[in-house]
Amino acid sequence: MKRRAENVIDRRGILKTSAAVLGGALLKDDSVEATAQNINTHSGPSRLKITDLRVAVVTSAPMTCPIIRIDTNQGVYGLGEVRDGASPSYALMLKSRLLGESPVNVDRLFRKIRQFGGQARQAGGVCAVEMALWDIAGKVYNISVYQMRGGKFRGPHPHLRGHH
């Protein structure tokens, strides 16, 4: 029993010494900001929550292009384009369904909002939200979206399947 207590004390001593050495090393650095730049502030995907959804309209492009921005509680944001001439109001009406949700649960959120899409122009809002969610997930996990979706693949065009 006494031996266990010694091991615990030894472990604690080691941890205290390690922390002191690490802390001293950080203090010796001329710039604590330089060290802070290497810290991944997006390391808590399970605690990531959607806090806002906004729209900006780009007018100086060849055509008007509404872009949505989904913000999170960890400062990560995602961008998505409202496609096919749809009104950005279709994306904004989804805001109340997204606030407080985890943006990395892309499929679950897409299933929650897809009923507001359909074949008409209102689908542009749902597509914009999905793009922005994938953008956030890619940033948080530090991987490109095409890799999350299965990697590079160049197969037949979906409309040409079954036609040779």
For the ranges 35-44, 99-108, 110-119, the lowest mean pLDDT is seen at 35-44
For the chain, what percent of residues have pLDDT higher than 90? 28
89 to each of 9, 67, 110, how far by Cα in Å? 62, 11, 17
Average pLDDT of the chain to the nearest whole number: 74
Of 160, 35, 50, 65, give the one whose Cα is nearest residue 104: 50
Nearest 5 degrees, angle CA 139-CA 127-CA 107?
A: 60
Residue 35: pLDDT band (50, 70, 90) is very low
Look at the block and give the residue holding tokens 């979206």: 145
Q: Which CATH architecture has domain 45-148?
A: 2-Layer Sandwich (3.30)
What is the DSSP annotation of 74-88?
TS-EEEEE--TT--T
pTM for the complete prediction?
A: 0.64
pLDDT of residue 12: 52
Q: Which residue has the higher pLDDT, 122 or 49?
A: 49
Q: Is the pLDDT reported for residue 43 higher than 70?
A: no
* The pLDDT value given to residue 85: 77
Highest mean pLDDT among 26-30, 111-115, 128-132: 128-132
Asked whether 49 and 37 are in contact (CB, 8 A), the reply is no
User: Which ranges of 29-159 would DSSP assign to H, the alpha helix?
Assistant: 32-36, 89-92, 95-98, 106-113, 123-141, 145-148
Structural domain spans, the chain: 2-36, 45-148
Q: What is the Cα–Cα distance from 48 to 140, expressed in whole angstroms? A: 9
